[in-house]
Amino acid sequence: MIVAQRILMLRLQATEIAVPISLHAPVEGDRCWECSFTIGWPEGERAAIVRGFDGVQALYLAMQRISVELYGSAHHAAGKLRWGKPGDGYGFPMAKAGYQDLVGEDRIAQVPD
């Protein structure tokens, strides 16, 4: 079950296309909780499952993984991906190891002064 969605925009030549992100509800497994997500890249959908000790951790780690996927993409590196105003970030939490990559509002919200 999808619990949250966000649409990013990707500039390709003279047009913009939607890049949908879907976050699914955490599901309890035998030894851990799992939370899946998808990113609808133009070159193909990226789907992943993230695991955590409980549902909250699985959900949070999935959002961090989405952030890593976005900031690690060639589209971000080329400056062609946006959510809202270009350069303001994507609104997903980043693991501390990735703070140096954050831009705009993402950096303001997550990186202590």
Task: Give the number of other CB atoms < 10 A from CB of residue 78.
Answer: 10
Residue 96: per-residue pLDDT: 81
Mean pLDDT for 92-96 is 88
Residue 71: per-residue pLDDT: 96
Mean pLDDT for 51-59 is 97
- 100 pLDDT higher than 90: no
- 94 pLDDT higher than 90: no
Residue 113: per-residue pLDDT: 65
Residue 95: per-residue pLDDT: 82
Stated as kind and residue range, the H or E segment containing 69 is helix 55-71
Q: Is 70 helix (H, G, I), strand (E, B) or coil?
A: helix
